[in-house]
Structure 1
Amino acid sequence: MKVYLSGEIHSNWREEIMEGAQSLDLPVAFLTPVTTHEASDNVGIEVLGAEENNFWKDHKAAKINAIRIKHGIEQADLVIVKFGEKYRQWNAAFDAGQAVALNKSLIVIHPEEFTHALKEVDAQALAIASTNAQALEILKYVTTQV
């Protein structure tokens, strides 16, 4: 199973899930966006040239990052989206919407206090977890139970 891991980049949640899946010998391969914040933010100007206006800097980066993200979501069988507490991840909500539009199975991870703010996203998810461990258990169940 191919699993795309979308969402916040300020914690090691992806590594926790990937290492957990490896330790359980789950039959999964993971796809991710670029998770180095500086690399993701600066790819446009590093590849296509400097910009005086931050709007165009962000625009270039967003479009280049979208190539990888779109491909990853399209290739995935399952998309896991994590909403962290430090920042609001508008991009993660967009990724969740793309996954649903492409008829991908969606698991959302977020703290309980985000339930109201994410009610539309949650309504489209097949599972809503509050911890990385719960998402890993779901992944274990859907890939190993007979």
Structure 2
Amino acid sequence: MALNVYLSGEIHTNWREEIIAGCDALGLDVAFASAVTDHAASDDCGVAILGSEESKFWHDHKGAKLNAIRTRKGLQEADVVVVRFGEQYKQWNAAFDAGMAAALGKSLIVMHGDDHQHALKEVDAAALAVTQTPQQVVEILRYVETGKLPDQ
């Protein structure tokens, strides 16, 4: 069973690479898509392509709209959406992606530490799984694709 997985959320750690490597090591048939993880490129794509803006609001607005094209496509094509909430920054965009995934009826896996449990209780309630590590996500994807548990 091939899976399309969209990876959303914080961009300051290598959690995406850990999930991809873990799935590759198990030989899973998973295709991954993601938001642009180059922070500067993501922030500046609108003005780089459509022209500069004097106002930071319009600078960000252009970038957000261009990034939304990629995000919408990734969410719509996904079988599973994984949303990671990091420790250092508030990821409002990740919460928005989780809400869109839930609204689209996508299978949602959320990843965060204990310190975010209260703040993300509504997001967690919409998820089919709440994890803390990339390895847990890999094991969920293995189970979904093959029906095998970690020790099998």
Which band: TM-score by shorter chain? over 0.9
With structure 2 as the length reference, what TM-score do the two structures score?
0.94
Give unmatched runs, 5+ long, in structure 1.
none
Q: Indicate which of 74, 83, 86 corresponds to 1:84.
A: 86
Q: Distance in 2 between matches of 1:44 and 1:27?
A: 34
Percent of aligned pairs sharing the same letter = 60
> Aligned to 1:59, what secondary structure does the other structure show?
helix
State the one-letter code of the partner of 1:47.
Answer: I
2:13 aligned residue: 11
Q: Distance in 1 between matches of 2:73 and 2:87?
A: 27
With structure 1 as the length reference, what TM-score do the two structures score?
0.98
Displacement, 1:140?
A: 1.1
1:37 aligned residue: 39
Matching of residues 15-26 of structure 1 within 5 Å: 15-26=17-28
Matching of residues 60-75 of structure 1 within 5 Å: 60-75=62-77
Give unmatched runs, 5+ long, in structure 2.
none
CA RMSD of aligned residues (A): 0.7
Matching of residues 84-103 of structure 1 within 5 Å: 84-103=86-105
> Aligned to 1:103, what secondary structure does the other structure show?
coil
How many residue pairs get matched?
A: 146
Q: Distance in 1 between matches of 2:65 and 2:28?
A: 33
Q: Distance in 2 between matches of 1:28 and 1:130?
A: 20
Displacement, 1:26?
A: 0.6
